[in-house]
Chain A
Amino acid sequence: MKLDTRLATDPDRSVARLYLSGALNTDTAPAFEQELQQVLASGMQLNVLDMRELDYISSAGLRVVFKAAKQAREAGQRLAASHRKPHIEKVFEILKALPDMAVFANDQELDDYLDAMQARSR
């Protein structure tokens, strides 16, 4: 099982979206970690992991997400997850992963969140 990623950035709204597709497991986690580091290093305010195509995540994958979330918080950025499939969400729930991490079920929720952010910054 492989992991494919695609990055889309929106500098105007300072949003980076990383689309994950396939499996985030022990084998794919190290490469993904490097990739996520680069995404965070680009300095976007909000970094969203889009999991609509992600079929599988293991604790090794979650570990990478944890670590990145921690780093992002220290750098004043945010890391969020969106479009989790039910069994991915279940893994998150079992591990009570990141209760304060923002999650968006769909694009509408994400847009609402971004609008609210912009309204606050004005």
Chain B
Amino acid sequence: MKASIASRLILSLTLSAGTIIAVALLLDYRISREEILERLRIDSQNTVVDVVQDLERMLRGIEGNTRFVGSIVSQRPGSEEELTRLLAETVRRHDDVFGATIALAPGQSHRREGFAPYYFKQGDGIAFADLAQGPEPYWQLPWFDDAASSGEPRWIEPYFDAGGADIYMTTYSVPVFTLDEQGRSQLYAVATADLTLAQLHRYLKRLELGKHGIGFLVSHDGLVLSSNTDAAQIQPYQDILPDADQQQFWLDMTNEAAPGVDTTRHGDCQVIAGHCIIRMTRLRHSGWVLGVIYSERDVLAQLRAYEYKVIALGLLCLAVMILVVNLVTRRITRPLTALALSADQLGEGHLDTPLPQATGNDEVARLVQSFGHMKEELKRHISDLEQATASRSRMEGELSAARDIQMAMLPQSGRASEHFDDVQLWATVESARTVGGDLFTYSLQGRQLFFAVGDVSDKGVPAALFMARCLSHLQHPGSTSPGRKLAELNNALVERNSNCMFVTLVLAVLDLDSLQLRYASAGHTPPLLLRDGHAASLLQDSGPATGLVADQSYPDNQLTLQPGDRLVVYTDGVDEAFNSAGDMFGHARLLQWLGSSAGQPLPAAGQRLIDDIGRFTDGAAQSDDITVLLLEPPRPHRARQHQRTFHLIPGVTGACLDWLAEVLGSQVPAQSRSELQLVLEEVITNIFKYSSLGEHDEVSVTLAIDDGEVRLTVRDAGIPFNPLEDGRRATLGADIDHAEIGGLGVHLIVQLTDWQRYCRDGNENCLELGRSLTTEKDRTGHR
């Protein structure tokens, strides 16, 4: 699941959707918050305005009524009974008026204690009290004195009405004036109406906004009636706010409050916990300040509830979306997962693995179709490849067999080394392709050594076939001259040669007795001659290449070889060998090689040329067949040389030793003969054991006796094995407990010869051993 498409889709979609939802919620919250706050502000304002209106209406009613009573008394100061009846009527008829009195000014009553009848509500009825009977004269009390001294109607500070109704109340007092005999206005009485604080408290209760909201009323002198206290409790604001700063804050605010103006403050008000909002206004008639305090947190509680709702909704949306995305991506990626499994199977080579079913025409379905197509193509391709490989390996097998057949046509299967009396011949063919068009052949007729080297045009199978044809004509040289033989060959090849294949050829006859060489060339590269250390091309008269036009003449060239000469007949594959840089091996390098090969045995020299060419081309594809034929008349004072090959069958050592004894004869002392036999036996035994060669393979033994030295050369085509270094050597001189069994032969080889030399010559092991006959040493192994 990790890093799968589904999980990445879910992650990215969740993140992006979550971000979008969060941003939307945030915007919604910002907008909603403003709206809610505005609504709450309006709500609280409306509430305050309503309460203020209701309260003012009530106060206005009370004021109006009291002033009406006052005006009646002023115009018709009646008897005490009339005043008493008026009062009772006023209290009974006016719901908001708790109690009322008409108190005559001192001196207006005939009684000494004055006249102040008081009616107030008690239960469902009304009760009477005579204020003139109070403990102190009533005209000294604030409800009378304030109005009387100011001469204006006014609201009295709340007080406890002792002696009357015995409750907290406030009173609206209206002074009543009459004219005396001189026409001067004089105070006649004070008419009052009482309003209980409980009544006011009911209005304040309506101002309780939110859980912690408080409504309050502040009088002129700073007495506070609050909705969160008992109905009848008033206290100075100093008692509520002990802090001077807070007192100043409130004082400033109440001073600022004016009728009809809504004053609002936000901040820490200490009255309720946390951040609060205070709104207040001044009542028009009484001059009291009415206000409300409420907690912002209360107000925002609604908002917060709204937030929680929105967040919960958002999370729910996310969860549902994740679920849906998960389902959808799983549905989409299920064929992909199945396809990946199938692809793994395909990758392991199970091309018959079924692919998942994909319906519809979406990308996944197209991918599955592409996979199906790829699978079929792969199957077809592999089947094609198998067929191609089979046919190619069959062709390679056939070509390999063809090469074997072609090589079998050549003397010694294409790599020849032979002596004719003392004349030595060495030749090789290296085909550019599996089969090729180069050829060489030789045969001895009496004392005449006939040999030829040719190069068929083109390469490969056609050249090989034409080469075979050419070779069949060369099998019986007859006794004619080389030039005539070439002319006969030419006429034979021209027939039935619609492809116009042709052969360039050097054909030669060497008389072994006189060393006289006659040769003719059919457009072939001139042979090289090494004489007295100088290498050069022979001058030759040449005819055209054979196989193209009938009845051509080929002149004979003549040359008498001298002892020590070395003749090289080759095809142009030698000097025209190219390396990967496009450089040619060239004639100069060829002459240089020939010059430096003087003194080197013929096979070693020939092999060195092949190796030189191989090193020069350095792995570049061989462009043409390479054929080299070397011929060497006997050197003056040459060693007597004997050579023989032996099949590696059981008993080969015996055969070798018998042959060696025979060729050594009486030329060497008996002891040397015996020890040389011993050496050869050890060498042959080693080859027999370690060369990995079988009964059909051969080992070549050459014995040369020259100038008092016997030279023994043994060649085998086995795996590279240097007995002088690779061979196991037992530690000598150990006692019987520690002596090793085996590994003794190499000691004998080394001790019984004067020098030993090993080289890997082409694909052959070549071991050369020399032993002097003139200075027979004491070979006792103490060297």
Contacts and interface: CB of A to CB of B under 8 A. Distances in A.
A25 B677 CA distance: 10
28 contacts: A1-B654, A1-B657, A25-B653, A25-B654, A26-B681, A26-B688, A27-B651, A56-B674, A56-B678, A58-B681, A58-B685, A59-B748, A60-B745, A66-B739, A66-B741, A69-B736, A70-B736, A70-B737, A70-B739, A87-B674, A94-B747, A94-B748, A94-B751, A95-B732, A96-B732, A96-B733, A99-B735, A100-B736
B295 to A, nearest CB: 115
A68 to B, nearest CB: 10
A100 B678 CA distance: 25
Contacts of B685: 26, 58-60
B780 interface: yes
A67 B682 contact: no
B733 A99 contact: yes
A95 B729 CA distance: 11
Contact of B678 (A58, A69, A96, A97): A58
A120 to B, nearest CB: 21
A95 B732 CA distance: 6
Interface residues of A, number: 28
A109 interface: no
Interface of A: 1, 25-27, 55-56, 58-60, 62-63, 66-67, 69-70, 73, 87, 90-91, 93-101
B681 to A, nearest CB: 5
A90 B779 contact: yes
Contacts of A95: 730, 732, 744, 747-748, 781
Interface residues of B, number: 34
B742 interface: yes
A62 B674 contact: no
A98 B674 contact: no
Contact of A59 (B658, B675, B744): B744
Given A26-B653, A59-B745, 9 more contacts: A1-B657, A25-B653, A27-B650, A59-B747, A69-B736, A69-B739, A70-B736, A87-B671, A90-B779
Contacts of B742: 63
B651 A101 contact: no
A73 to B, nearest CB: 5
A31 to B, nearest CB: 12
B234 interface: no
A10 to B, nearest CB: 24
B752 interface: yes
A101 B734 CA distance: 11
Which 7 residue pairs of A and B lie closest in terms of their CB atoms, listed nearest first? A94-B781, A59-B744, A59-B745, A96-B733, A96-B732, A26-B653, A94-B751
A85 B650 CA distance: 28
A87 B675 contact: yes
A111 to B, nearest CB: 24
Interface in B678-694: 678, 681-682, 684-685, 688
B678 A91 contact: yes
B781 A93 contact: yes
A1 to B, nearest CB: 7
A58 B674 contact: no
Contacts of A87: 671, 674-675
A93 B136 CA distance: 167
Contacts of B780: 90, 93-94
Interface in B634-692: 650-651, 653-654, 657-658, 671, 674-675, 677-678, 681-682, 684-685, 688
A65 B11 CA distance: 87
B781 A100 contact: no
Contacts of A62: 744
Given A56-B674, A56-B677, A100 B735 contact: yes
A48 B682 CA distance: 26
A100 B671 CA distance: 27
A62 to B, nearest CB: 6
Interface in B708-744: 730, 732-733, 735-737, 739, 741-742, 744
Contacts of A70: 736-737, 739, 741
Contacts of B682: 58-59
